[in-house]
């Protein structure tokens, strides 16, 4: 049997002790018993129990609480083979460095302390406990036997997953691995089905079927009806606005036309009242020229006698000018009359055109449906949006059907994986039931005769993991602290394989001397090293093979040494 032979540490009060395959550490509280146990835990697993009320501590800053003030923390063990393992943390609780751990490859830190492993497993869910116990108590079962227990509809899945397991893995461990894989595959398949269905819902808008042609036709008809009503109402509203504006322009044009007509009539009356003026005789300009020449010559150039009359020339010139002015005034007034006539004609034409437009617009029904376009527009928009959605849904229904097919496929796969999982769980129960009697006997071999161990894996149809001691043929699971410590230690020993190196460190309990002696005798049969701490010594003769280490608080010597019993 491989065992820890020597322990040295500066944790807490420090220790430097020799151990045997079976060791009892005896001493009062605070004397250093847990120091030795903590050192073994650290050296073998880099974790320690009972720090700040916690079961399992690995963080260096927390572990440094065991170190002397201002010092590094060191824990060393030496095996009977001469190999060693150590754990070193430098620094302080405020700033601890990463731990340096050295241990042989043959030491598995996850399994070297079987009691710790057992407690983590059996104190969890029944499923976790059953899987743990399966790998520990049913090692002799074959893969072929387990295969025969798997339901035929999913045996192909079982064989496929079983083939992927290492050949070195035991059949029970392979069963547990396949069981966990099946559960994982079932969860993943359910997740895929849910994802596919959610994707289908997003595309389908929650519909269970694509839109029918009649549904599309009805939506199109609704849009056309609303669109026609909207356009008609909008045209009517536009025509009404145009009619109002045209009527306003017509009224203004009529005023302008009236003014133009009045101006034309006024100018016509002015022209009519203007007296007729004869134009100057064509000879008068020549007469003026002759008079001017005669005045210049001093005699009449016409008759050649007498002198010309100087007053005649201005009179002739005035007559010519007056005749010309009258003629020019008439022409100017005639032009004004013509201009007012043309202006009146244009305004009358504009009035007539506006009257015709008013007459046309008056024939348009401004609101045939009795609806306001502003009220119809939201209805039209909603109907068009619905039609677009239905068209898009019809176009994308192929994707919806694909998503549905994926969901159905994933659900079918999840059902098969679930069936395999259930079948594996049933196989676990069958194998455990078959190995239960042998396992109970193995646990019983590590207990005093007064303790009668029992383990229940079923409570009616319900799968359970209940263990404890029988009293009057009744299973008692509410054990005392001392009973719990020795039952858990006995179970942990029974769960260890013959080749597994392990150190059993039962919880320290206040055993009475007689019970402690019986417990030591029972643990003598364990195949693993046992290190038991107790505040009292056993009564009677010490069982053969046990080494006793006594601890005592000594101010001058922080280390403890093995002492004779």
Q: What is the pLDDT of residue 366?
A: 56
For the cut 90, the answer to whether the pLDDT of residue 510 exceeds it is: no
- Reply yes or no on whether the pLDDT at 563 is more than 90: no
**Which domains does the chain possess?**
4-148+445-550 (3.40.50)
Q: Which residues contact 107 (CB under 8 A, 6 or more apart)?
A: 44, 85, 501
List the single range of 36-40, 187-191, 406-410 with lowest mean pLDDT.
406-410
Burial (CB < 10 A; 0-12, 13-18, 19+), residue 6, is middle
Q: How confident is the model at residue 423 (pLDDT cuts 50, 70, 90)?
A: very high
pLDDT at position 277 over 80: no
List pLDDT tens digits, range 6-15.
Answer: 999 999 889 9
Highest mean pLDDT among 51-60, 214-223, 318-327, 328-337: 214-223
Parallel, antiparallel or unpaired: strands 529-534 and 22-26: parallel
What HEC string does 16-81 produce?
EEECCCEEEEECCCCCCHHHHHHHHHHHHHCCECCECCECCECCHHHHHHHCCCCCCEEEEEEECC
> In the structure, what pLDDT confidence band is assigned to residue 561 with cuts at 50, 70 and 90?
very low
What pLDDT digit, counting tens, does each position of 144-197 carry? 999 999 999 999 999 999 999 998 888 888 888 899 899 999 999 999 888 887
Q: How far apart are CA 265 and CA 522, in angstroms?
A: 146
Residues in the chain: 565
The two tokens of residue 192 are: 């895929």
End-to-end CA distance of the chain: 23
Evaluated on CA atoms 55, 56, 62, 63, the torsion sign reads: positive
Count of beta carbons in the 10 Å neighbourhood of residue 174: 20
Indicate if the pLDDT at residue 54 is higher than 70: no
pTM of the model: 0.58
Question: 201: closest CA among 411, 413, 393, 408?
Answer: 393
The reported pLDDT for the residue numbered 89 is 94
pLDDT band at 387 (very low <50, low <70, confident <90, very high): confident
SS (H, E, C) 82-108: CCEEEEEECECCCCECCCEEECCCCCC
Cα Rg for the chain, rounded, in angstroms?
61
* pLDDT averaged over every residue in the chain: 84
Q: What percent of the chain has pLDDT over 90?
A: 31
pLDDT tens for 481-505 read 888 888 999 999 888 877 778 999 9
Say if residue 365's pLDDT is above 70.
Answer: no
């Amino acid at each position: 049997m491989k065992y820890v032979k020597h322990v040295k540490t500066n944790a807490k009060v420090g220790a430097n002790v020799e151990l045997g395959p079976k060791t009892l550490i005896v001493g009062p509280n605070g004397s250093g018993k847990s120091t030795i146990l903590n050192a073994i835990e650290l050296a073998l697993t880099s974790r320690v129990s009972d720090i700040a009320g916690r079961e399992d501590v690995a963080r260096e800053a927390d572990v440094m609480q065991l170190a002397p003030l201002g010092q590094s923390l060191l824990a060393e063990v030496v095996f009977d083979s001469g190999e060693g393992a150590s754990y070193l943390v430098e620094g302080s609780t405020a700033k601890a460095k990463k731990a340096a751990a050295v241990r042989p490859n043959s030491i598995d830190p996850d399994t070297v302390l079987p009691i710790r492993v057992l407690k983590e497993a059996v104190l969890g869910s029944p499923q976790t406990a059953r899987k743990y116990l399966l790998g520990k108590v049913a090692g002799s079962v074959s893969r072929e036997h387990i295969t025969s227990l798997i339901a035929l509809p999913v045996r192909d899945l079982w064989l496929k997953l079983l083939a992927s397991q290492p050949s070195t893995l035991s059949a029970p461990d392979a069963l547990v691995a396949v069981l966990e894989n099946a559960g994982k595959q079932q969860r993943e398949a359910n997740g895929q089905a849910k994802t596919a269905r959610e994707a289908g819902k997003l595309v389908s808008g929650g519909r269970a079927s694509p839109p029918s042609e009649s549904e599309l036709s009805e939506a199109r008809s609704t849009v056309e009806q609303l669109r026609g009503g909207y356009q008609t109402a909008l045209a009517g509203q536009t025509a009404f606005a145009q009619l109002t504006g045209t009527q306003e322009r017509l009224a203004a044009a009529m005023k302008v036309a009236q003014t133009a007509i009045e101006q034309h009539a006024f100018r016509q009356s002015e022209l009519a009242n203007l007296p007729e003026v004869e134009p100057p005789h064509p000879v008068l300009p020549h007469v003026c020229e002759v008079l001017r020449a005669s005045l210049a010559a001093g005699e009449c150039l016409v008759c050649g006698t007498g002198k010309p009359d100087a007053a005649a020339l201005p009179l002739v010139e005035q007559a010519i000018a007056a005749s010309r002015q009258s003629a020019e005034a008439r022409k100017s007034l005639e032009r004004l009359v013509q201009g007012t006539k043309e202006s009146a004609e244009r305004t009358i034409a504009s009035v007539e055109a506006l009257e015709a437009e008013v007459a046309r617009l008056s024939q348009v029904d401004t609101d045939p449906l009795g609806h306001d376009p502003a009220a119809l527009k939201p209805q039209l928009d909603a109907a068009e949006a619905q039609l677009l959605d239905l068209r898009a849904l019809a176009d994308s229904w192929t994707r919806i059907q694909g998503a549905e097919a994926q969901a159905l496929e994933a659900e079918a796969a999840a059902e098969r994986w679930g069936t395999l999982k259930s079948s594996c769980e049933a196989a676990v129960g069958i194998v455990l039931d078959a190995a239960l009697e042998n396992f109970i006997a193995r646990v019983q071999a590590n207990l005093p005769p007064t303790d009668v161990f029992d383990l229940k894996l079923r409570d009616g149809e319900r799968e359970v993991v209940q263990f404890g001691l029988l009293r009057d043929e009744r299973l008692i699971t509410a054990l005392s602290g001392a009973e719990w410590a020795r039952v858990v230690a006995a179970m942990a020993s029974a769960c260890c394989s013959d080749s597994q190196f392990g150190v059993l460190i039962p919880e320290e309990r206040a055993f009475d001397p007689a019970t402690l002696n019986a417990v030591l005798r029972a643990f003598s049969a364990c195949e693993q090293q046992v290190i038991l701490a107790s505040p009292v010594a056993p009564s009677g003769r010490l069982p053969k093979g046990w080494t006793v280490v006594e601890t005592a608080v000594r101010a001058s010597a922080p280390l403890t040494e093995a002492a004779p019993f």
